[in-house]
Amino acid sequence: MAFFTLLMITFVVFFVIQLPPGDFVDNLVTNMVAQGETVTQADVASLRAMYKTDRPFMVQYVDWLKGITTGDWGVSFYYKQDVLVKIGETLGATLMLSFITLFITYAISIPIAIHAAKHQYSISDYLFTFIGFIGMAVPHFLLAIVLMFLSYKWFGKPLMGLFPEGGIHDWASFLEFLSRLVIPVIVISMSGTCGLIRSIRAQMLDEQEKPYVLCTRAKGVSEKTITYKYEMRAVLNPIVSGLGPMISGIFNGSTITAIVLMLPTQGPILLKALQSQDVYLSGGMLLISAVLVVMGTLISDLLLMVLDPRIKYLEEGKR
C-alpha cells in the first residue's frame, strides 16, 4: 500500500507542478526580456531543448521517475545544481530543527493536557485553554516578528538565522546557537502543541468518565496509576495516529516563518522552486515530504497495534 501510494503521489506531484500556465523557460524568457535582452523564437526553442521542456508530459514524468529510482534526481533549473546536492545543503539543519521541534511538541503538550484534564475548570485549565486558542489563531510569521522584536529589546539584537557566523567552534558559539534555536522552535511548534493539548485533554476527559475508570478508582487504585497505566494507553491512539502529518508539517516548517527568521531550511528553497517552476527541485522536495507522511503513517499503524491490544489485523476470511 505504501509503495503504490508513493507511486501515485509522484504522478500527482509532477502533474500539479506543471499545472500553472507556462514553464521554467517562459519565466526565464520573461526575465530576459525585462532586462532588455532580445529573445527570438529560435532562442526559445533552443532553451526548451536544453531544459527538456519541449517533450510530452508523460515522457518527462517517466524520465524523472527513472532518475528517482536510480539516484539521479536531475539538475535544478534555477540553482544550476544537482537536486540532491541542493537539498543536502539544508537537509541537516531541517532534520535537526524538525526532530527538536517534534520532541518539544510532545514533551510540552502531553503533561499540560493531562494537568488540564485532571483539574478541569480550574484557573490553570482556563489559562492553558486560552493560551491554546491564541497559539492556534496567531499566524506563525506574526509570532516570529513579535519574538524577534522582543529579542531585540531584551538582548540588543534580533535572533535571526540558525547558526552563528563562523559556525559552532567553542562554548560561546554553542550557547549562541541554542539562543537562536529558541524562537524557531517556539514558532514552528506552537500550533501543533496547542492542537495536541486540546485533543489530548478532550480524550482524557472522555476517558475519565468511562465505567472501567470509575470501577478502578472505587477499588482504591491510586490516581497516578489510573492516569498513566490505564487512561494514557487509550489517549495515545490519537497522538500516534497523527504522527505522519505532524512529521511532514514540521519538516516543511512554515515557509514564511523561515524567510522571516532567515532559517537555512527547506521551506524557502521549495517556495523559490515552485515560483520558478523548477520541476525537478520542487518535485524532489515534495516527494521527500510525501515519503515522510507515508512512512510516518506506517510507523503510527505499527505503534497502534503494539500500544492498543484491541487493534488486530486479521487475515481475509477471518473477519
Task: State the DSSP code for 81.
Answer: S
15 contacts: CB under 8 Å, gap ≥ 6: 57, 61
Distance CA 287, CA 10 (A): 7
Sign of torsion, CA 238 106 95 162? Answer: positive
Please tell me the predicted confidence (pLDDT) of residue 123.
93
Residue spans of the chain under pLDDT 50: 319
DSSP string, 89-105: HHHHHHHHHHHHHHHHH
Residue 234 belongs to some domain of the structure: yes
**Is residue 149 domain-shared with residue 43, that is, in the same domain?**
no
Please tell me the predicted confidence (pLDDT) of residue 249.
65
Please tell me the predicted confidence (pLDDT) of residue 112.
92
Distance of CA 271 to the CA centre of its chain: 14
Please tell me the predicted confidence (pLDDT) of residue 264.
83
Amino acid type, 295? M
**Is residue 205 domain-shared with residue 226, that is, in the same domain?**
yes
Residue 78 belongs to some domain of the structure: no
Reported as a single tens digit per residue, the pLDDT across 151-170 is 888 877 767 777 777 677 77
Please tell me the predicted confidence (pLDDT) of residue 257.
79
Q: How many domains does the chain have?
A: 2
Task: Specify the pTM.
Answer: 0.77
Residue 317 belongs to some domain of the structure: no
Domain end among 19, 49, 70 = 70
**265: CATH:** 1.10.3720.10
**Is residue 58 domain-shared with residue 103, that is, in the same domain?**
no
